[in-house]
Amino acid sequence: MKIISYDGSMQEKSSMSVLLENDIKTEIIDHGKKTRPSWETFFKKLHLRHEDLSNIDLFLVCTGPGSSYTAVRSSVSFFKALCTGLNKPLAGISCEN
């Protein structure tokens, strides 16, 4: 199974993990309070290409709680649109910081 998870609920850090079969890669990126790292930054650090997204079986996104409600909403919206476009399942997960 191939899974991507994203947590953008923290004010000064974001994380993305990729599970490809039995291999897990995680990147945590520090950022400013009002800025977020681009998806391109995560893709590059995790050695993902846009074409790889169509091979992902499940997407997970943190639904809170967190210190940035706006970041949670924008992350959920982004992944909802992405998964709708790719016709892939999306699950929300609770993330304690």
For the chain, percent helix, then strand, then coil, each to nearest 5? 30, 30, 35
Q: Which of 24-28, 39-43, 71-75 has the highest mean pLDDT?
A: 24-28
pLDDT at 18 over 80: yes
d(CA 10, CA 97): 7
pLDDT of residue 58: 97
pLDDT of residue 2: 93
